[in-house]
Amino acid sequence: MKQIAIYGKGGIGKSTISANVAAALGERGLNTWYIGCDPKADGSMTLLGGRKIETFLERLRSSPGENRPAYVEGFNGVKCIETGGPIAGVGCAGRGIIVAVQELYKRYFADNIDVIIYDVPGDVVCGGFAAPLREKFANEVYIVTSGEYLSLYAANNIVRGLENLRVNLGGLICNSREIRNEERIVSEFARKIGSHMISFIPRDPIVRECENRGKTVIEGAPESSQASAYRRLADAILKNSDLRIPKPIDPEEIRALLRENE
């Protein structure tokens, strides 16, 4: 069973990429689970035709003894769960993730699962947001970034967390913002932290068009070049054996890298 977690700066496109990779893996007939940890639930909604599902923690609070499946099956058979968080103003989202993943692992995760994808919020692998890693429910991380300074700065912070937790990084996913020399910038940054860029995802308006219809690109535009890019990423993750514990760099090195590629 491959257990991966996807991190990155808020708004960088983690949920879009996670959901499309899950849809592509489901298309291959793999038993795939998508665990959304984002309060917006935007990843699972695109796998479920735009439907927002009750979160796992909401179910535990409202019907603790109920014996129906915790997941909802979406496009291509992907099993979707949103972990949920605390009641507004009480507790923290990270704590919610810890409770949810512990319960899910005890009750549902079995040997017949091929891939579990955790779509994790947060620019920093802090406390509760590190739960899938610290509890050993995920052992392979991918960071979504672009060639912009703040995205790379956030990626570098996440790398610092991975180094502290001694967790393997599978690579960087460049979700393009169409800046000059972006592919080269992200590839060079990956090299500097001791990793590699596993995929470059181009920017395409088809993504928003599909999301507006409550679909992944794999479902909404299966013949598009963008769908092909997500399928290539899914294949690359499945075959990836280049896993290394990364090392963060000085933020000034990021600025220097960007200046060299202006």
User: Which residues are known catalytic residues?
Assistant: 9, 14, 40, 123
The token duo for 181 is 């020399």
Q: Nearest to residue 36, comparing CAs of 76, 79, 81, 5?
A: 81
Alpha-carbon distance of 186 to 173, in angstroms, equals 9
Q: Provide DSSP, 209-262.
A: HHHHTT--HHHHSTTSHHHHHHHHHHHHHHH----B------HHHHHHHHHHT-
Q: To 5 degrees, how large is the angle CA 119–CA 226–CA 146?
A: 55
Distance (Å, rounded) from C-alpha 101 to C-alpha 87?
A: 18
Four-CA torsion 158, 140, 199, 254, nearest 10 degrees: 20
Q: Is the dihedral of CA 58, 1, 243, 29 positive or negative?
A: negative
Residue 244 is classified by DSSP as B
What is the C-alpha separation between 184 and 201, in angstroms, rounded?
13
**φ, ψ (nearest 5 deg) of residue 250:** -65, 130
Pairwise CA distance, residues 85 & 95, whole Å: 8
| Structural contact between residues 132 and 66, judged by C-beta atoms closer than 8 angstroms | no
The token pair at 106 is 């005890």
66 C-beta neighbours (distance < 10 Å), count: 9
